[in-house]
A and B are shown apart, each in its own frame.
Chain A
């Protein structure tokens, strides 16, 4: 219907989104050009924050680490697609399998961190004990770089597999089964069916999972903060660096510059996503 009273219904949402999402987004671009902290008057410094950032080896390491974390994406895609294909058929156990695999997804990340930090503990930790049964020497899961990156990746995969499995199930649900059926009658084996029929039709979901998983890898923070809080900054990630600059040193200018870098990285992914989806349509 045509009625200008619509504005009243829209008002709370638009005011809040403008004030707390759109304006802050524009502000971090602006702040990133300022010398801006809680202690002195802010001042325009052009690209100085960016120059300082790239001169700081800690920043370069966290940038590197955050990009490295994107490597979990192919693993997550493989594991969760495999799980989705395995629980696709409705059987007596499907519901139980799905629920169990989804449990880590709904668990607050702080608790995920608490659980895994304990498992990774080096002295008498569970993981090192299990490895000792296979006569593997104690590994420093939390303190040895880059092993601690691998530990965190393991946690990210553990927590993410159920979520992406569900996304794949949603994608699989809309694929018509006739073709699969026909190819089976023509003698195609399971792997040929997956490769030639399921995967091409699953492309939109594959892209969605890739983009979501890659962007959340770039934004990784809480796992780092709870599992390896004591590790040096060059073992951590961009958001951890942003947090340190902004809320431990209260250097909002530098923090915002880090934010801009993170935005550009995630934007590259979401933009590709939109472009690919447009081409599909």
Chain B
């Protein structure tokens, strides 16, 4: 009896979590006449794949995709690299001002991104980075949470490894790159995935920075489609399905890293 109740509740919530995606997929495959059919149909009579080509051709969807991919590649690489360097410094060295610098990292985690967009926009304007992909990437290349996570990871490496390497005459950059960074691979993977999800789904900042349609990311482009094709929801749905595929794939194949990351308290 208790088991029935337990699985009953779980099935109810899992259905609630997944069904909207199935509905989106169904909408993206409907013909014009079925879109507003009453009662609504879950499985279309005829699968209309033209919505996908329609979405792709009615807006520069390929361009949005390329922009999003570029932003993700640079965001993830910079984020992991900078966090690894800083985490290494904060975890393995004693130097003047270390506590102060660590405090800056902690303080930066308390600043909501949403409220600093005004000064950031002005800085980006002054640096002539407005309406460029670099303007989207650079301001958020360093991230407090990521640095914090990498610091924890570097701190868990035993001191003997570092001492042995230094006695053998290993230089500091090599100590970082060839010896220590590989030992933090799991944290880097976790960080990369969260950074990927964040950069791929980011909306407010790209919306502020990017003005010309040829610089839009997928999220900004989809929002534009939502405003333009209000009566052609099938195209918007098809575009949304295409945009969601990479995240779902990454998520399904990397689920264990997700759980690890959340257990370490990152994300959001």
- Are A28 and B36 neighbours in the complex by a CB distance under 8 Å? no
Known contacts A110-B219, A215-B112, A103 near B119 by CB under 8 Å? no
Residues of A148-198 whose CB lies within 8 A of B = 158, 161-163, 166-167, 169-170, 173
Binds A, one of B15-23, B45-53, B183-191: B15-23
What per-residue 1/0 map shows which CB atoms of A105-123 lie under 8 Å from chain B? Answer: 0111111011111110001
A262 to B17, CA, bound (A): 30
Partner of A104, one of B17, B208, B237: B17
A219, closest chain B residue (CB):
B114
- Are A10 and B13 neighbours in the complex by a CB distance under 8 Å? no
Q: Is B257 an interface residue when CB atoms closer than 8 A count as contact? A: no
Residues of A37-84 whose CB lies within 8 A of B = 79, 82-83
CB distance from B263 to the nearest CB of A (A): 4
Which of B20, B85, B141: most chain A CB closer than 10 A? B20
Residues of B51-109 whose CB lies within 8 A of A = 82-83, 85-86, 88-90, 92-96, 98, 101, 104-105, 107-108
Known contacts A95-B255, A242-B114, A5 near B172 by CB under 8 Å? yes
A24 to B112, CA, bound (A): 11
CB distance from A42 to the nearest CB of B (A): 11
A110 to B36, CA, bound (A): 22
Q: Is A146 an interface residue when CB atoms closer than 8 A count as contact? A: no
Partner of A256, one of B89, B118, B243: B118
Known contacts A14-B86, A222-B204, A103 near B21 by CB under 8 Å? yes
- Are A119 and B23 neighbours in the complex by a CB distance under 8 Å? yes
- Are A24 and B119 neighbours in the complex by a CB distance under 8 Å? yes
- Are B201 and A108 neighbours in the complex by a CB distance under 8 Å? yes
A171, closest chain B residue (CB):
B263
B83: which A residues are within 8 A, CB to CB?
13
Residues of B27-41 whose CB lies within 8 A of A = 27, 36-40
A205 to B121, CA, bound (A): 35
Q: Is A4 an interface residue when CB atoms closer than 8 A count as contact? A: yes
A82 to B12, CA, bound (A): 13
Which of B14, B203, B250: most chain A CB closer than 10 A? B14
B223: which A residues are within 8 A, CB to CB?
110, 225-226
What per-residue 1/0 map shows which CB atoms of B139-153 lie under 8 Å from chain A? Answer: 111101001000000
Q: Is A6 an interface residue when CB atoms closer than 8 A count as contact? A: yes
A212: which B residues are within 8 A, CB to CB?
268
Q: Is B164 an interface residue when CB atoms closer than 8 A count as contact? A: no
A116 to B40, CA, bound (A): 15
- Are B9 and A259 neighbours in the complex by a CB distance under 8 Å? no
Q: Is A246 an interface residue when CB atoms closer than 8 A count as contact? A: yes
Known contacts A1-B162, A7-B95, A229-B227, A111 near B88 by CB under 8 Å? no
Q: Is A23 an interface residue when CB atoms closer than 8 A count as contact? A: yes
Residues of A88-108 whose CB lies within 8 A of B = 93, 95-104, 106-108
- Are B204 and A14 neighbours in the complex by a CB distance under 8 Å? no
Residues of A111-150 whose CB lies within 8 A of B = 111, 113-119, 123-124, 126, 129
Q: Is A279 an interface residue when CB atoms closer than 8 A count as contact? A: no
B139: which A residues are within 8 A, CB to CB?
16, 20
B82: which A residues are within 8 A, CB to CB?
12-13, 16
- Are A9 and B251 neighbours in the complex by a CB distance under 8 Å? no
Query: How many residues from A make CB contacts under 8 Å with B?
Result: 93
- Are A83 and B13 neighbours in the complex by a CB distance under 8 Å? yes
A259: which B residues are within 8 A, CB to CB?
114-116, 118
CB distance from B209 to the nearest CB of A (A): 10
Q: Is B155 an interface residue when CB atoms closer than 8 A count as contact? A: no
- Are A6 and B93 neighbours in the complex by a CB distance under 8 Å? yes
CB distance from B167 to the nearest CB of A (A): 12
- Are B112 and A114 neighbours in the complex by a CB distance under 8 Å? no
A14, closest chain B residue (CB):
B101
CB distance from B76 to the nearest CB of A (A): 15
B197, closest chain A residue (CB):
A106
- Are B116 and A24 neighbours in the complex by a CB distance under 8 Å? yes
Partner of B226, one of A14, A16, A27, A226: A226
B120: which A residues are within 8 A, CB to CB?
20, 24
B240: which A residues are within 8 A, CB to CB?
111, 114-115
Q: Is B1 an interface residue when CB atoms closer than 8 A count as contact? A: no
Residues of A whose CB lies within 8 Å of any CB of B are 1-7, 9-10, 12-14, 16-25, 27-28, 31, 79, 82-83, 86-87, 93, 95-104, 106-111, 113-119, 123-124, 126, 129, 158, 161-163, 166-167, 169-170, 173, 208, 212, 215-216, 219, 221-222, 225-226, 229, 239, 242-243, 246-247, 252, 255-256, 258-260, 262-263, 266-267, 270
Provide a sorted-by-A list of 30 A–B residue pairs whose CB atoms are within 8 angstroms.
A2-B95, A6-B89, A6-B92, A10-B86, A13-B85, A16-B139, A19-B123, A20-B123, A24-B120, A98-B255, A101-B17, A102-B255, A102-B258, A103-B251, A106-B247, A106-B258, A107-B201, A108-B247, A114-B240, A117-B226, A123-B36, A221-B204, A225-B203, A226-B223, A239-B115, A242-B114, A252-B122, A262-B112, A262-B115, A263-B112
